Amino acid sequence: MRIKAIKTRIFKPREKLLLFIASYLPKIKDKTILVVTSKIVALSQGRLVDKVDEKTKMRIIRQESDFVLPTKYVCLTVKDGQVMANAGVDESNGNGRLILLPKDSFKAAAKIRSHFKKKYRLKNLGVIITDSRCLPLRSGITGMAIGYAGFQGLKSYARGGQDIFGRLFEYSRVDVADSLATAAVLLMGEGDERQPLAVITGAPVAFCKKTDWQELKIDIREDMYGPMFKALK
């Protein structure tokens, strides 16, 4: 698998996203995955607001969240079925303004895929829209897929399959979408790299025509970590 980050100029609010991507995207081959940072998708949708004060920021975070728990450092939130800090409301690279997450990232990914699949006459093309997140009990940030299209985001090992020593799998699944997002974000960077795009080739994925937007979600009542967090004081 190979990943190439693409350097660009600074994307402007409400700029035409597809034209911007096309101006930097090399002619891509079949079975490529195009990675796009959520920042430029959000900016193209006009998803930014002037930061007046912390009270305004908190109000916006609450509006963007399905669940909010204020803490010492950030608000722990649930948005679109994912746990994240501050509902993704971010000040970095905002030039003094708050940038919100894109509206309907799966739909945005599907639109990008449809356009470039037709433009380059491709049979298989994947698209991932990425953001950053912190993991519990781990320092630093990593990438995550907040939307994707054109491939299966979850790989399941069938019950009865075997590991390398012949042990039968009870149940095992791999989060393909977030794994690819993490690898791409590492190269794209989080600071002044100006690399909001990347292309992945040779990825071990199953391409598909229709993406299941719900395949990675787990009901909070069924989450394996739920009992542990309830027990913490």
- What confidence category does residue 114 fall into, taking pLDDT thresholds of 50, 70 and 90? very high
Q: pLDDT, tens digit, for every residue of 39-72?
A: 999 999 999 998 778 888 999 999 999 989 998 8
Which residue did the predictor score with more confidence, 113 or 83?
113
Q: Is the pLDDT of residue 233 over 60?
A: no
Count the Cβ atoms, other than its own, within 10 Å of residue 40.
24
**The CATH number fitting domain 1-45+103-211, selected from 3.30.1330.100, 3.30.450.40, 3.40.1360.10, 2.40.30.10:** 3.30.1330.100
196: exposed, middle or buried (Cβ count in 10 Å: 0-12, 13-18, 19+): buried
- What confidence category does residue 194 fall into, taking pLDDT thresholds of 50, 70 and 90? very high
Q: What pLDDT does residue 160 have? A: 61
Q: Structural domain boundaries of the chain? A: 1-45+103-211, 48-100
| The token pair that represents 136 in the structure block | 């519990």
| The token pair that represents 124 in the structure block | 């298989």
- Beta-strand (E) ranges in the chain? 2-6, 32-37, 48-50, 67-70, 75-79, 82-85, 97-99, 125-134, 141-149, 154-157, 172-175, 197-201
Q: pLDDT, tens digit, for every residue of 90-103?
A: 887 777 789 999 99
Residue with tokens 């669940």: 67
Q: What pLDDT does residue 97 have? A: 85
- What confidence category does residue 193 fall into, taking pLDDT thresholds of 50, 70 and 90? confident
Q: pLDDT, tens digit, for every residue of 149-190?
A: 999 999 987 666 677 677 766 667 899 999 999 999 999 998
- Does the pTM surpass 0.95? The reply is no
Query: CA 62 → CA 85, 132, 135, 151, 202, distances in Å?
Result: 12, 19, 21, 32, 40
Q: What pLDDT does residue 169 have? A: 65
Alpha carbons 124 and 126: distance in angstroms, whole number: 7
- What confidence category does residue 232 fall into, taking pLDDT thresholds of 50, 70 and 90? low
Q: Smallest Cα–Cα separation from 38: which of 199, 210, 181, 183?
A: 181
Task: Say if residues 36 and 130 touch (Cβ distance below 8 Å).
Answer: yes
- The average pLDDT across 4-19 equals 96
- What confidence category does residue 137 fall into, taking pLDDT thresholds of 50, 70 and 90? confident
Percentage, residues of the chain above pLDDT 90: 66
Cα three-residue angle 134-153-164, rounded to 5 degrees: 95
